[in-house]
Amino acid sequence: MLPKITTRWRITRISDGAVAQQEDDIATEYPLTIRLGDEEFATIVCSPTDLEEMTVGFLASEGVIRGTNEIKELRIDEERGFVYVELVHEQSTNKNDYARRFIGSCCGKSRQFYFQNDVRTARTSMSRTTITPAECTSLMRQLQSSSSEFKLTGGVHNAALCTPTELLAVRTDIGRHNALDKLFGYALQQRLPITDKIIAFSGRLSSEVVLKAAKIGVGIMLSKSAPTDLALKLADDLGITCVGFIRGSEMNVYTHGYRIIENRGSSAE
């Protein structure tokens, strides 16, 4: 049986000089090792929820599969922390592709991928989806109110696959990339069209997060937090709209602002 996503821990609470013994809710870490056939492929430290979705999303993100039809069998041993994957067509994965940095000089003015497999799997967005500032605020508010685990622990990330007006699926994990892989796996298993969707995210917009969004195939990333410079350079080249610091009615639009429209009666520039 999987452990719970949170656990209780005895702490000493100090507040305004007062000392008290109490229990606190702590986010659980769960190591999951993925085996492809007879080979150990990767170990992911994650929250113990939606493990099948995360495995599917991770393998797709790494370029091992393109869809669930390429998986012959997927079996999770919850007690030992292993997931066993058999592919329809066996393949020998070159682990160097998942650990060797690649810098391309002809793919855009600043597109710099960390690993060779990113070159194969990150796609330039051609999304025609638009969103208003009010819709950005509403989605972020819905995301923040959707996770009881975050309210309890403050130690997890939340990510949601959205339309401009509603959250379609929300996934939670201690790792921000894991939360996105869970969404990717969900979309693949449900065979959802992705290019017209949006991702709302609780964490920082790092280069890793933008690359995950490009692999999933969305064109708009929303976050309450800040971006990094490499994330914005990648987003600029990959055609992804990044909106950060969405707090109240304020936000910063960093890249491809033509997807942010004034209202539903207006058109993108």
Sequence-ordered alpha helix ranges (H) in the chain: 51-61, 116-121, 133-146, 148-153, 176-190, 207-216, 229-238
* Average pLDDT by stretches of 10, the chain with 269 residues: 79 87 86 92 92 96 93 95 94 57 41 64 92 96 78 75 96 92 97 95 92 95 94 94 94 97 67
Predicted local confidence at residue 239, as pLDDT: 96
Sign of the four-CA dihedral 15, 20, 25, 26: positive
Query: Which residue in this structure is represented by tokens 């990717």?
Result: 184
DSSP 94-159: -GGGGTS-EE-SSS-SS-EESSHHHHHH---------B-HHHHHHHHHHHHHH-HHHHHHS--EEE
d(CA 269, CA 258): 5
* Catalytic residue numbers, as ranges: 107
- What pLDDT shows up at residue 149? 63
Q: What is the pLDDT of residue 93?
A: 61
Place of tokens 């209780």: 8
How far, in Å, CA of 165 to CA of 207, rounded?
26
Q: Looking at residue 110, what is its pLDDT?
A: 44
Other CB atoms closer than 10 Å to residue 236's CB: what's the count? 18
Sorted by sequence, the CB contacts under 8 Å of residue 59 that are 6+ apart come out as: 34, 65, 71, 85
- Number of other CB atoms surrounding residue 147 within 10 Å: 18
How many Cβ atoms from other residues are within 10 Å of residue 84's Cβ? 15
3-state SS, residue 16 = coil
Helix, strand, coil percent values for the chain (each to nearest 5):
30, 35, 35
